Amino acid sequence: MSGKRVIAIVLSVILDILALIIGAIVIFASIFGGNLLGALLAFVIVLGLMIAIPLVGVLITKDRPVRINENKTINVEGFEEKHLSIKEIKRVASKYQYGFYLGKTARSIINQANLVEKKINEAKEAVNNRFEPNSITWDRYMGVVNVAADTAITNLDMMARRISVLDEKEYSTLTNPIKHLTHRESLNSGRLEFYKENKEYIDRGIQDNEDMFNRLDTLSIELRKSADNSTKTDAVIEDIEEITSQIKYYN
């Protein structure tokens, strides 16, 4: 049971008790005051609150449903846009950032989500300062930077969607060597492979984005140097194109 659900249950019990106590006071006061209609109304309200409070708690703590489509692309229901927003990516990853098994991975996702906009804007600014807007060279460089931006965000989107179907507690159970000695746990080998496969995809995505950010930083630095380094900047552009094509292939 998740911590969020435990808290909701405790709060529901406390609120139910408070509603019962306050309701009992109002009911007895109404009876002794000769207001039977008021006592009946208070009883109905208290009964309704004691039923409604737990239901509200269940709805608030209900987990977001997850599904996998026919192409094995992991989607989280409720997100209809092409990409999750940077805010949503960080929200999804933040649920895992303190875990023993997934914490480091989640923190890397959050860190990249914080950096991606900065890295892209710096590269675009360097292109704008170096080349005449809408010139042939500007179009080429800006086009590559835009593709890099879309690829990096798509990669972050993939990471968030994949980590969203994993569970720290289950992962801990599946990787426990003692429990793997039992026949019952050995039946979960397929589930463990599912976890390992998704974590490998995420870790590879993190490394791909790190490589992308490094190339974008190099591009920004080279473009800010003298105008006689077109060979170096062209080489960096080709590196970025190669990385984006690799990421698209693997994803």
Residue 98 shares a structural domain with residue 20: no
Q: Return the pLDDT at 109.
A: 95
Q: How far apart are CA 218 and CA 224, in angstroms?
A: 10
Q: Return the pLDDT at 80.
A: 44
Q: Return the pLDDT at 209.
A: 92
Q: Return the pLDDT at 106.
A: 94
Residue 48 shares a structural domain with residue 82: no
Residue 15 shares a structural domain with residue 102: no
Residue 35 shares a structural domain with residue 84: no
Residue 83 shares a structural domain with residue 115: yes
| Positions in the chain short of pLDDT 70 | 1-8, 56-82, 177-189, 226-230, 247-251
Residue 180 DSSP label? G
Contacts (Cβ under 8 Å, ≥6 apart) of 19: 46, 49, 50, 53
Residue 78 shares a structural domain with residue 202: yes
Residue 26 shares a structural domain with residue 77: no
For the chain, what is the domain count?
A: 2
What average pLDDT does the structure give for the chain? Answer: 77
Q: Return the pLDDT at 58.
A: 56
SS3 of 74, please? strand
